[in-house]
Chain A
Amino acid sequence: MFEKFRSYLRVTSPDPEDARRRNLLNIIVVGSFASSVIGILILGFGLIAKQWTFSQASFLLFFFVIFICLVLIIFFINRQWGNAAAYIFLAILTVGYAFSDTAANISNGSSVFFFAFAIVLASLLIHPLMSFAIAAIGCGIIAWANNLAAPGTSPNFVVMIGFFMLALVSWLASRSLVQALKDLRGINANLDHLVQERTQELANSLTRERIEAGRSHAILESIADGVIVFDVNGSAIIANPSSTRLLDLPNEKLVGASVDDLSQSAPLDAEGRNVLTGLLTKPGEQPNNAHIAWGKKTLSVTSALVNDSEKANIGTVAVFRDYTQEAEVERMKDTFLAIVSHELRTPLNAILGYAEMIKEAIYGPVNEKQVRASDRIMTNSHRLLDIVSDLLDQGQMEAGKLALHVRPFRPADLIENVHGVMDKIAEDKSLALTSELDPAMPKFIHGDIARLQQILVNLINNAVKFTEKGSIHMSLKSKDAQTWLLEVNDTGIGIPEEEISTIFEAFRQVDSTATRKYGGFGLGLSIVKQLTELMQGHVFVTSKLGEGSCFTVSLPMVMAEQGEH
């Protein structure tokens, strides 16, 4: 009720300065209304108590009623139209009052002070400068009243100067009030703006965070890889849907589970259990991408520590990927290689055998041409067998399954064996194959003679392939007490410098058109490099275009006693 009354008295305006002035006028108007009502009541009491006669009171009563009516009119004008009410109010105060007292009182007596009220209110209600206008009007009225009361005398200049002094003070006070309020409103508005800005920023960053979190969550929910996050105490706090699908364990069994719980409830063998526990408890220490047989599946498991922005460890994340198909492909590849090994070698073996039997005249006498033809069949069968062996070796080395059979052997035997295999091939191309055994080489050393022979055969095959005329020279040298060298020199076409770094890659030949011209898969040098590395050695090459190449294999020297053989 009181609130409603207060809000009825309040005037609203888009201009805050206008609103302030009109509210001030409202307060004055309400005050005037109240004081008029009190005045009427006092008059009423005076009449009842017979202090005054009705004729004495009638003038004042009439004045109060008129005043109340005017005040109400001003109140409604103030509410509806604004500033006009302030002008009317001041006009009533100044002009109206000029007729309410005797001319003598107005010009020089007790009513002079009344204008001070109007001057101050004018600066507050209309405009700071308005105080001077009212002061001037006041001066005019008292001059006019003086002329009526005492014609010929000079008006009260002291009062007039006083009016203007008061107007000056009012103007200054009111102006600084307006300015102060304006500043305050400016500060408030600025503050509001700042608060609004900050609120918007906060809302934006919260929204962003929610979007980010939502996005991460969506990714985690939809990726095919199983992701489980463990806290620092080693219990699972997050397990995405893929993890429950891949691990064949319900989400309730995963979330909250410890590493031990997980490895116990998983369909694993003892080794798989060890690998999994190692990966989850000591991430980074175990080789990642471990393949674990998980029931009927094979899973590839990776783990990593989760660190916060201060680099403090807050847990471990494990990623599980279905590796079943890849594992199956690897297994099939192994089976395929084993089958190829057997199924290709067997018929080739038969071809070799029959060709040899024809040559050996098992099936009756043969002429020289037939012997040569048998030789060609045998040479080509051997070439085919070598290619098959190279492919199988390459496959085995890529899978890391090729093992060396290290025994004591005589370096002289190695040279002799290589001559046995390669002399014919060099001779077919009219190339001289020469060899040299460093006298400083021990009589016996440790090594896999078959694989060393393969290295030399591959290097010489390569040399023969790329040499049109001249010679090929192999040598076994003792470099120092720890190292021995296998060297193959040729007088072939040489290798461009920019190609030297790539010639040891599988399935590569210097010129891709060379594959057709020179034949072969380009596997020989790749096998040389891989075998050398398997033997803890190095292979390097020096070459000059058009002059020839020199391949050097350096190997660790392990001497052997003759008796071990």
Chain B
Amino acid sequence: MNDMPMISELAMVVEDDEDLAAIFTEALRKANYQVETVRDGLSAQRRIIQIEPHLVVLDMHIPYVSGGEILQQIRADVRLKRTTVVIATADARMGEMYTDIADFVLIKPITFTQLRDLVNRLHRI
């Protein structure tokens, strides 16, 4: 815990399932992130142009706008070129499709400690 930055950085969780959103959010908080949580694609799209998150945990199956489109939008935005994207999906085939564009692909079930430990390491990158 000693090598963590003093000012917590901003992370965004895009996940439609209430419980998973809560678990992911808690894991990121434990990794010393300030977390903003949205539950659908449209909200994510609107919010991502206003903030500059260091990390986005992105579900693929979300209402209104797909995770894939959000990912494209982030990658197309110069402002967000330092943003790390972690895809969280239950569909292994879909995860496979995005390995080159996303920074990490996690296949559900994603456990609390798994996500916490992964993002803890990200601080050091």
Contacts and interface: CB of A to CB of B under 8 A. Distances in A.
Interface in B52-75: 61
Contact of A362 (B26, B61, B93, B111): B26
A357 B90 contact: no
B109 A357 contact: no
A362 B22 CA distance: 12
A349 B26 contact: no
Interface in A321-349: 338, 341-342, 345-349
A342 B91 contact: yes
A18 interface: no
B13 to A, nearest CB: 13
B23 A353 contact: yes
Interface of B: 17, 19-20, 23, 26, 30, 61, 90-91, 93, 96, 108-113
A335 B86 CA distance: 26
B20 A353 contact: yes
A352 interface: yes
A350 B23 contact: yes
Contacts of A357: 23, 26, 112
Given A350-B20, A354-B19, 13 more contacts: A342-B61, A345-B109, A348-B109, A352-B109, A352-B112, A353-B19, A353-B110, A353-B111, A356-B113, A357-B23, A357-B26, A360-B112, A405-B96
Contacts of B109: 345, 348-349, 352, 381, 385
Chain A interface, DSSP helix/strand/loop, else mixed? helix
Nearest to A401: B93
Most buried by A among B26, B30, B96: B26
A346 B107 CA distance: 11
Interface of A: 338, 341-342, 345-350, 352-354, 356-357, 360, 362, 381, 385, 403, 405
B38 to A, nearest CB: 17
A354 B93 CA distance: 27
Given A347-B19, A353-B19, A338 B108 contact: no
Given A338-B91, A342-B90, A356 B96 contact: no
B113 to A, nearest CB: 6
Nearest to A344: B90
Nearest to B110: A349
Contacts of B20: 346, 349-350, 353
Given A341-B91, A346-B90, A405-B96, A356 B111 contact: yes
B61 A354 contact: no
A346 B16 CA distance: 10
Contacts of B90: 341-342, 345-346, 349
A401 to B, nearest CB: 9
Nearest to B99: A405
Interface pairs A-B: 8 shortest CB-CB:
A350-B19, A353-B23, A349-B109, A356-B112, A345-B90, A342-B90, A353-B112, A349-B108
A405 B111 CA distance: 23
B17 to A, nearest CB: 5
Contact of B113 (A341, A348, A354, A360): A360
Given A350-B20, A353-B20, A354-B19, A345 B113 contact: no
Contacts of B30: 362
B23, B26, B108, B109: which has the most chain A beta carbons within 10 Å? B109
Contacts of A350: 17, 19-20, 23
A385 B90 CA distance: 11
A346 B23 CA distance: 12
A301 B109 CA distance: 43
Contacts of A349: 20, 23, 90, 108-110
Nearest to A345: B90
B118 to A, nearest CB: 14
A354 B91 contact: no
